[in-house]
Amino acid sequence: MAISRLSFLLHQQLQKYTSSLRHLSYSNRSFCSASNLRSHFQRIGFIGLGNMGSRMANNLIEDGYNLTVHDVDHNAMKIFSERGILTKESPFEVADSSDVLITMLPSSNHVLDVYTGRNGLLSHGNTLGPWLFIDSSTIDPQTSRKLSATIADCSLKRKRDGFEVPAMLDAPVSGGVLAAQAGTLTFMVGGLEEAYVAAKPLFLSMGKSTIYCGGAGNGSAAKICNNLAMAVSMLGVSEALALGQKLGIAASTLTKIFNSSSARCWSSDTYNPVPGVMDGVPASRNYDGGFASKLMAKDLNLATESAKEVGLEFPLTSQAEKIFTQLCNDGHGMKDFSCVFRHYYPGNDEL
């Protein structure tokens, strides 16, 4: 029995050792692969240096990438130029000196202007320098698909390993300004899978996770579905917390109940909309910073329009769009979208 027991233990140790060797071998192969991929990213162009884009660009710089940047706001570019980062006066000039081009812009119209407008990325013919275009803007899936098809019809000035023609990925993000600052964004990516795999090191320099969603436009589709759910959830949590307080339950108490029961969600446990309940969220600083209400209204409009195009009626989404649009009309468009609690339930908070 003792010999059998010893044999069993030795067998276990041998399995662990063999497994470790296999893991080490795989890690070495992965490192070599990553080193080869890095050569494709020697020059990164970044367009759009707003609240999100500036922080994403910073993370790429801190990770050792060589960036060239552009923004219509010269003050935003000045912040980078003072740090020794190369700036350009037009999108085309950025593309002309880049291997990969990343855009982070407010709307579909801004994206179209940067790509197809005067001195845009595609304004000087269909032979392109960058082998990969990544758009992290939140736009409608149709625009993403049209741009992807247009880029796929172009040719490359210089062929890349495995890529005969330039590729485009729609890669919107979730996590907001705080996650952009911390480098913990989640990327939802649509487009050619080979391009997604190649670009993963870039995504992981700016975020903590990436999810491949399928073909062109699917990343954009995933993002507007995510924000649809987020908006409706925030409204539901805000209404429930307001009702609870009117019925005599403190918001902090009700939040504890939510977070230990079936009502638990991101709007209650991570981004609570009631002032005084949670530190470090926009509600704790008069709803400054975070995700602007005007952007939520825009994203809900994208969702309602996309629903119409596929023949669906979404009453909750339509109502949410009306509420956030009204919030903007009342002068709160630049406040974080969680301010919907204070605006619709004035004076009804934890203070």
- Give the CA angle between residues 339, 52, 118 to the nearest 5°: 115
Q: Dihedral (C-alpha) 189, 191, 197, 200: value to the nearest 10 degrees? A: -40
Q: Encoding tokens for residue 98?
A: 């880049």
Contact yes or no for 297/329 (Cβ under 8 A): no
Which amino acid makes up residue 55?
A: R
Q: 266: buried, middle or exposed (CB in 10 Å: 19+, 13-18, 0-12)?
A: middle
Q: Is 159 a catalytic residue?
A: no
Give the active site residue among 78, 157, 223, 246: 223
Q: Is 244 helix (H, G, I), strand (E, B) or coil?
A: helix
Q: 50: buried, middle or exposed (CB in 10 Å: 19+, 13-18, 0-12)?
A: middle
Cα dihedral sign for 305, 307, 312, 316? negative
DSSP string covering 167-235? EEEE--EESHHHHHHHT-EEEEEEE-HHHHHHHHHHHHHHEEEEEEEESTTHHHHHHHHHHHHHHHHHH
Tell which residue, 121, 125, 75, 72, has the closest CA to residue 98.
Answer: 121
- Residues annotated as catalytic are 223
